[in-house]
Structure 1
Amino acid sequence: MKKAMSLFLALGMTAALLAGCGGSGSSSAAPAAPAASAQAPASTPAALSGTVSTNGSTSMEKVIGALSEQFMADHSGVTVSYDPTGSGAGIEAAGNGTCDIGLSSRALKEEETGLTGTTVALDGIAIIVNAENPVDDLSVDQIAQLFTGAATDWSAVGGNAGAVACIGRESGSGTRDGFESITGTKDACVLTQELTSTGAVIEAVKGNPSAIGYASLSAVEGKDGIKAVTVGGVACSEETVLDGSYAIQRPFVLVTKDGAALSDAAQAFFDFATSTAASDLIRAAGAVPTAK
C-alpha cells in the first residue's frame, strides 16, 4: 500500500513538472505577426494633371519656354501655356486671377499691391546697333542723350555722321520700363519706332544702319546683322550681369496673387522654376539663374 502511494505521488509530481515546462515553452515560442502583414501598403503620389497659365513679359519667352517644355516632359498630364502680352498685362492678369502666374521683366511697383514678385532670373538689357555701325562702346549718359534727342547725330558719340534712329518698346513693356529706369529717361525718350516685341526691335535695328535699340540679352545672342555695344567698357554677359558690373540689367519675375493658393500643378511648376533644378535651363535660355 505504501509502495502504491509513493508511486502515485511520484507520477503526480512528474506530470506537474511536465505541464509547467510545456506552458513555459508554448509562451516563449508564440510566433509574432509578420511585419509586412501588419502594415498598409505605401500609397503612390497622385500624378499631376491640369493646366498652368502664364501671362506677361515677351522678354521671358525663351526662359518660360524652356522651363515649360521640361516640366511638361516630367509631368505628361500637365499643360503649361504662355501668353506674351507684356509685363504690365501679365501683372494685371495675376492680380485679377485670369492667369496662374504673371511674368514680369521688372520689379513690382509700390502701387501694384496684393501681389508677390519672386525673381527667377536676371537679364541684361543689351544696347544694340546695326552691325555696320562703328560705335562699339557707350556710357549710360551717352545712351540717355541718344534716346532723349539730346544727341541726334552719331558723330556726337564717336560714330560716323548721320541721324540717329532710336527704336524702343511700347508703353507697359517691362524692357522699356527697365531701360528707362536705369538710364534715367522715363517718359523722355524720342523714338523713331515704338514696337510691341523684343523680336521686332531686333529686326528694326538689323534693317537700319542708323538705328539703336535695346533688347534682352537672351534674345540678341547669336543674332546676325546687329551687335551689342559695351556699356562703360563692360560687355553684357551672364558673368557681368550676375556680378552687377553691367549697368543695364533687370529681373525676371514670377508674379502671384497674395492669399490665393495656386493649384497643385501651378505650385509644382513655380517650385521647379525657382529651384536649382531649373538653373541649367535658364542659363541655356540666355538669362542668369538666381537659385542657390
Structure 2
Amino acid sequence: MKTQVIGALALAGSMVFNTAVANETVSVVGSSSVSPIMEVLGETYANSHDVVVEVQGPGSSAGIRAAHDGSSDLGMSSRDLKSSEKADNIKEVVIARDGIAVVVHNNNPVSNLTKEQVSQIYKGEVTNWNQVGGENKPIVVATRDTASGTRGAFEDIMSLKKKINGVKVSAISQRAQVASGNGQLKTIVANNPFAIGYISLGSVDNSVKPLAIDNHKPSIEAIKAGEYSVQRPFLVVYKEGRPSKAALEFLKWIHTPQAQNIVTEKGFISVK
C-alpha cells in the first residue's frame, strides 16, 4: 500500500511536518526567530524524506537548555551562546544569519538613528522623539522578554548590559513594554505612533518602518557588505551523541544549495 501523504499538521502548539507515516521524528526546539525558517525547511525536507520534523519556538534559552539536557534532538538559538552555556560536548552550527531591524510606526518622521541613540533610548536616557529629530512626543519603548535570543543579541550589539554587584544584567529600562515574540512586538509598534522596537529582519513587512542605523538601512546586501552591523547568527545546537541519525542528516541537508536558497528566499542571509 502506498504511504498516505498527510502534509503539515499543527499539534499542541508545535509545528509538525511530514509527508508520510514516518519512521523517524526529529525534534527541534528553541528560538522563535529561527522557528519560522526552520518550519519551512522541515516541511520541505519532509516532502522527500521519511521523517517528521517537529518544531517548537519557546525561545533561544529554552533551545540551548533542551540541547544540554537532551530533551530535543536539536536546539535553535538566535544569539551566540554565553560562556556558561558552552561545553565540549555541545556543538554549534550556523545555518543562516539575520539582521535585527529597529522599527517604528510608519508615520514616524525619524528615519535614521545612531547606535548610541538607540542605546540611550533603551536605557531611558532619551525619552522624547524631539531629542532625535522627531516630534515632541514621548518615546514608547518595546522590547523582548529576557529568554529571547533576539533581545540577547540586541543587548550585546547595542551595549545594553551593566554590572550590578559584579553580575552582568540588562540595562534596558524597566518601563519598556515586553513582547513575547517578533509578531507581538511588531503589533505594538504598528499600533502606536510613538513606539520603537526591534525584530528579526526576516519579519519586517509594510506594517512597520525599519530605521537606518548609522546611515545604513537594514538589508541582506548591507549585512553581506558589512555595512549594517546589527546582525546575529541563527544557530542549531546539539549535544554530541544525542541526535538521531535522521536529525544529523536533516542538519546536513540545511547546508545544501536547495535549503540555503530557501533561507535567502525568506529574507535571511545564507551561509553557503
Contact 2:217/2:228 (<8 A) preserved? yes
CA distance in 1 between counterparts of 2:251 and 2:110 reads 42
Q: Deviations over 1:113-142 (max 9, x none)?
A: 331111111100000000010000001001
Aligned positions of 1:220-231 closer than 5 A: 220=204, 222-224=205-207, 226-231=208-213
Of 168, 176, 179, 1:195 maps to 179
* Corresponding residue for residue 124 of structure 2: 149
For 1:158, the aligned partner's letter is: G
Query: 1:85 Cα deviation (Å)?
Result: 0.6
CA distance in 1 between counterparts of 2:55 and 2:67 reads 13
Larger % of strand: which?
A: 2
TM value normalised by structure 1: 0.80
Larger % of helix: which?
A: 1
* Corresponding residue for residue 205 of structure 1: 189
TM value normalised by structure 2: 0.86
Q: Deviations over 1:160-197 (max 9, x none)?
A: 11100000000121000000100001211114311111
Q: Which SS does the other structure have where 2:85 is aligned?
A: coil
* Corresponding residue for residue 248 of structure 1: 230
Contact 1:122/1:241 (<8 A) preserved? no
Of 57, 65, 86, 1:113 maps to 86
Of 214, 235, 255, 2:217 maps to 235
Find out whether 1:133 has 2:114 as its counterpart: no
Query: 1:265 Cα deviation (Å)?
Result: 1.2
Q: Tell me the C-alpha RMSD between the 2 structures.
A: 1.4
Contact 2:73/2:242 (<8 A) preserved? no
* Corresponding residue for residue 68 of structure 1: 42
**Which runs of 5 or more residues in structure 2 are unaligned?**
1-21, 162-169
CA distance in 1 between counterparts of 2:95 and 2:248 reads 14
Find out whether 1:268 has 2:258 as its counterpart: no
CA distance in 2 between counterparts of 1:202 and 1:113 reads 31
Query: 1:223 Cα deviation (Å)?
Result: 3.2
**Which runs of 5 or more residues in structure 1 are unaligned?**
1-47
CA distance in 1 between counterparts of 2:126 and 2:140 reads 11
CA distance in 2 between counterparts of 1:240 and 1:144 reads 21
CA distance in 1 between counterparts of 2:81 and 2:118 reads 25
For 1:270, the aligned partner's letter is: L
Q: Deviations over 1:86-105 (max 9, x none)?
A: 00000000110111000000
CA distance in 2 between counterparts of 1:227 and 1:85 reads 26
Query: 1:73 Cα deviation (Å)?
Result: 0.5
* Corresponding residue for residue 149 of structure 2: 174
Query: 1:267 Cα deviation (Å)?
Result: 1.1
Aligned positions of 1:51-130 closer than 5 A: 51-75=25-49, 77-114=50-87, 115-130=90-105
Q: Which SS does the other structure have where 1:289 is aligned?
A: coil
Contact 2:70/2:242 (<8 A) preserved? no
For 1:155, the aligned partner's letter is: N
Q: Deviations over 1:198-242 (max 9, x none)?
A: 10000000010010000000011x332x10011111111111112
Find out whether 1:165 has 2:140 as its counterpart: yes
Of 260, 266, 269, 1:285 maps to 266
Find out whether 1:214 has 2:189 as its counterpart: no
Contact 1:71/1:269 (<8 A) preserved? yes
For 2:134, the aligned partner's letter is: G
Contact 1:201/1:213 (<8 A) preserved? yes
Contact 1:66/1:282 (<8 A) preserved? no
Query: 1:261 Cα deviation (Å)?
Result: 4.6
Aligned length: 241
